[in-house]
């Protein structure tokens, strides 16, 4: 089975500076933050694995370091979306996303971010920004050769959140 390529074997749930190639405007930074804010919904609505002995999604994705590598690449591809945010804010957002993904996929991390409603209130995320984020996330997963089944499981957790994140036209 293909797994997300691990670049180290450290693992664990802690802040890692990681490499930065360019940091993702406020509107789309929020799209990245939606991953972090979605954990209570995602974990509450995640379907149990079909086979009791099947590894959880976290393990099938390759664990903490593999998830962190995908998040780092996702942020790098959201070029210009973090303009105006301090380095500390970007690092905190990155760690929240990693912790969210780790927790939501059955890993040992604890997500300590805000709930989805609070995190996105008043941010004005448009349908176009949502679609752009979803597209970039899909590209990153494909580039990391995340298998179709795991991509579908991630989509099942994240796509229903659109109604809570995107501003509906009046």
- With tokens 């941010």, the residue in question is 123
CB 129 within 8 A of CB 120: no
**Sign of the dihedral defined by the CA atoms of residues 137, 142, 58, 160, in that order:** positive
Secondary structure (DSSP) of 90-129: HHHHHHHHHHHHHHHTT-S----S--HHHHHTT--B-HHH
CB 36 within 8 A of CB 99: yes
- Above 70 in pLDDT, residue 43? no
pLDDT (0 to 100) of residue 18: 39
Section 5-15 average pLDDT: 40
Section 23-46 average pLDDT: 46
Domains of the chain in sequence order: 26-165 (1.10.490.10)
pLDDT (0 to 100) of residue 35: 52
């Amino acid at each position: 089975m293909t797994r997300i390529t691990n670049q180290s074997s450290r693992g664990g749930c802690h802040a890692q500076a990681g490499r930065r190639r360019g940091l993702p405007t406020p509107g789309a930074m929020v799209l990245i933050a939606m991953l972090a804010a979605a954990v209570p919904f995602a974990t509450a609505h995640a379907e149990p694995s079909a086979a009791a002995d099947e590894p959880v999604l976290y393990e099938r994705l390759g664990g903490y370091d593999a998830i962190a590598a995908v998040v780092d690449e996702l942020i790098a591809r959201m070029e210009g979306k973090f303009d105006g945010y301090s380095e500390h804010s970007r690092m905190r957002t990155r760690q929240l996303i990693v912790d969210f993904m780790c927790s939501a996929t059955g890993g040992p991390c604890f997500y300590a971010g805000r709930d989805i409603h609070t995190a996105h209130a008043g941010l004005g995320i448009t349908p176009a920004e949502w679609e752009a984020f979803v597209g970039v996330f899909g590209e990153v997963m494909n580039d990391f050769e995340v298998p179709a089944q795991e991509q579908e499981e991630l989509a099942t957790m994240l796509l229903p959140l659109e109604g809570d994140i995107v501003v509906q036209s009046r």
